[in-house]
Each structure stands twice: as structure tokens, then as C-alpha cells.
Chains A and B, each alone.
Chain A
């Protein structure tokens, strides 16, 4: 799909439901300056969803979809889990894989897109929960990193199997007791960000989704680096408020507590020297583009 194809037949314009007209008129496809700040003032690529009220995953979804640099030419690959309840509602091409094989699907997809559209930038972004990424799909996840597949893997880390009742996952913290893991976790949380970097990821980040600016930056970095260098990995803490006994409005506080100094989700990034230089250059370009856009807007006024 491309931006040119996202337009309504003229004769049918009046009959289309308003949300599709909005999608053409007010969405941020093709906008190089798109960011999370568009949320509320433009048509979002996800609005309604079937997650629980106050679920931090829904916030994460909004930020990620608002941060993708090239949504009209991005294909997302999902897996079984809470995320698969949202994918049917997003306005981005997406594929649902079998539980755990999302990175294998994405590998083939990325290669096929490269053959089919050699002159176009096509981004592939995997988005799956911790069960799919770290437990059931760890083989596929790591093999894709070993092979240097050029796409981004995002893991929504809620530290357990949320929509099946709260079973223990590899990313659960040690000692945590959940409904379906009454003895408590006996071993440490798997250090996947470090494993990812050692396994060939060129850019790795681990953080919560409490700060949209930071999430946007990380997602953008991960997608841009995956285009140029190779695999990237982003782990986002999206606590399951139901399974950890919190109220709908307490998700944000939970994330803020988890990222405090000394806690397990202090924001961290790993990158190679080449990537560091690339991102520095990219930052300078972004700043110049923003400055130019601001000047143009001021001149237009």
C-alpha cells in the first residue's frame, strides 16, 4: 500500500462513514513530522480497542503507532496475546502469526518486501507480548537476531501471561506470586535486553511507556536503525493492571514506580558505535527539519 492508494472514489465520498473520510483527510500518513503530539488533533491509526479500561498496553499502542516514521509502508507482525485483540482495529497493514513464530514470519516478510519493492523503504515491525517473545517464541526471536534480519522487535513486557489468567513468564520478576503461579517465581527475570545486544541487535532499549517523548524517540530510533544496520529490540513495560491487583487509573503510577532509580525498569539503551554516530546525525537532521517547519509555519502566518 502507499499513500496514493489511501483515497476514496470520488463518487462514493459522501456515502463513506465519517471515520474513513477522517482517515484520508486528517490522518498522519506521509507526514515526516508525525509524532505522539498529533494524538487528539489528528485521526489516530488506532482509536477504539478491546483492551481493559486503563490498560497501559493501549497507551503504548497509541504512542507506537503515532511514532512509526513510515506507517503507510509499514507492516506489523503480531502474535497471540492481548496485542492480538488490538490488531484488528489498527489502520496499518498487519499479519497475525502463530504463537511464538512472529520473528520467523517477519524475517520472510522483510526479505520478500525487499525483493518485491527494491526501490522502496518498507519497514517491518514485530509487536508481541513477553510470552511470545521470550518464552514460546524465544527460538524464533533469537534466531532472527543471529541472522541479522533487518526489522524491529517490540516486546510488551507485562511480566506474565495476562489474558490466560496470570501464569508465570520468563520476564516475571523473581518471587512474584500471581493467580496461576502461587508458589512465586523461583528464578530471576530473563535479561533479554542484554541478551539481544549480545545476539546481534544493533540497537536495544528497555523502558516503560510513562513518557511519550521517550517512547517515540526509541521507536523511531529502532525503526531507522533496523533499515540501515540490522535487528533492533525494544522492551516496553506495560503492566497488566488486572493481574497485579491494580485499579484502572493506577497503570501510570505503576510504570513510574517501576522506572525509579534502582528499580527493574530504569530506562536503558544499548547500541553499537556506528549506530551512535548514525543517530547523532539523524538527530541533527530532525532538529533542522523541525526548525525549518516551524519557520515555514511562522512565515505562513
Chain B
């Protein structure tokens, strides 16, 4: 073992992939914290604390939950909104994996090809990726670890992300809700959110408009 730990950066222009440094993915019922395999409950506890102690906690939902491609995706989206309200945290979508031209608007979106721009611009110090396809999530997590000091987390629908500082696997509505419940429990126990006040970005011209879904 190399003794490598997946810590917040800035690590290097091109940080090594965590797997190449001997970091392995958790088995079902487990999570990983900075490369250490832990029981899932320990990961919930630390993730909730990281969000509450952050100045700018942020959720990055990806296309798998942003788009209503099946009912489960729409339910996960609702669960993410509940989590954002519980912390409270910003929601900044990763709506697209295509490189944006001529540039992204960092208050509004994050792009896997240069996620550091959104992190830097909004001074994000703790974030979680939910519903991002694995390859794009790993790419973004590595770039963030390489160039920013943000604490990265990932709620993966498959086997987890070794390139995140903290990772869950087999994401589901129940798991997102469990994280929300942990946040609410800690708040009840007296842990206060250290987050700065913020205004959630919303598109002005569509604020009064909502699509109807039958």
C-alpha cells in the first residue's frame, strides 16, 4: 500500500487517479472516507458534519437526476431538494457533459471539463455529486482535487468513487433521505450550520412558470 489518502487539494496540476494509488471501492453497506473503507453509517455522519461546517455547501446533481427519464430519477431529484433545504445548500446542476462554448456561467452550472471554475468562483468548500455518470464524475473529482481545496463527496448509483474524499455507493432515494435525516439529527443535537447566507440561483424569467407533469 502506498499510504495515499484522498484529501482535499490543491494537490497537483495532474493528481494521480486514486485507484492507481491503491485506493479501492467500498463493498455494499460500506462507504469510503479519504480512501479508508468504513461502515456506511460513519460516512453519513461525516458527510453531514462536513456540510454543516462548510461555508458554501453545494450539491451538484447530474443528468441522471436532472432529467425525468424515469420515475425514480424524478423521486431522487425531490430527495436532493429536501437535502438542500435541510442543510441549507446551493444546488448547481451539471446539466451537460459537452464542453460549453464560449464559456460556462459558474453561478448557474458546473461542467466536468472544468469544474474548478465553478468551485473557485463560488468559493465552494464542500460538495457532493449525485446522478453524474461515473466517468464524468471521476474526471470532475480529480480536477477539483487537483486545483481546489474543496472537500468532495459522491453519492454513486453504482460502486462508489475512489476519487472523492468521501463516497457512498448504490445511491437511492432512501440513501439520500438518510443523509438528510442525519443532517437534521445533528442540527437537533445542536450542531449549527456554518454556511454563509446565500441566494439560490433561479432563472428570473421562468420563476413563475412550472411545467405540468401528469
Contact = CB atoms under 8 A, between A and B. Distances in A.
**Chains A and B bind each other:** yes
A37 B105 CA distance: 30
Contacts of A287: none
Contact of B78 (A8, A11, A18): A11
A176 to B, nearest CB: 32
Given A7-B213, A48-B102, A17 B67 contact: no
A17 B100 CA distance: 12
A299 interface: no
Contacts of A18: 203, 205-206
B interface: dominant SS: loop
Interface string A85-114: 000110000000000000000000000000
Contacts of A49: 101
Nearest to A15: B91
B10 interface: no
Given A13-B210, A16-B66, A89 B95 contact: no
B102 A7 contact: no
A21 interface: yes
Interface residues on A, range: 20 to 34
Interface in A1-56: 5-18, 20-21, 24-25, 48-50
B188 to A, nearest CB: 25
Contacts of A89: 98, 101
A1 to B, nearest CB: 9
Contacts of B202: 14-15
Contact of A15 (B74, B201, B211): B201
Contact of B66 (A12, A25, A48): A12
Contacts of A14: 202-203, 206-207
Contact of A17 (B73, B105, B200, B205): B105
B66 A21 contact: no
Contacts of A6: 67
B203 A10 contact: no
A8 B101 contact: no
Nearest to B98: A88
10 contacts: A8-B67, A10-B210, A13-B211, A14-B206, A15-B202, A16-B66, A17-B108, A18-B206, A25-B211, A89-B98
Contacts of B192: none
B22 interface: no
B101 A10 contact: no
B99 interface: yes
Contacts of A13: 206, 210-211
B102 A5 contact: no
Nearest to B78: A11
B80 interface: yes
A9 B92 contact: no
B210 A17 contact: no
A25 B205 CA distance: 13
Given A11-B78, A17-B95, 20 more contacts: A8-B67, A9-B74, A10-B78, A11-B74, A11-B80, A12-B61, A12-B91, A14-B203, A15-B61, A15-B92, A15-B93, A15-B200, A15-B202, A16-B66, A16-B203, A18-B203, A20-B66, A20-B96, A88-B98, A89-B101
Given A17-B93, A88-B98, A8 B203 contact: no
Nearest to A21: B206
B105 A10 contact: no
A12 B213 contact: no
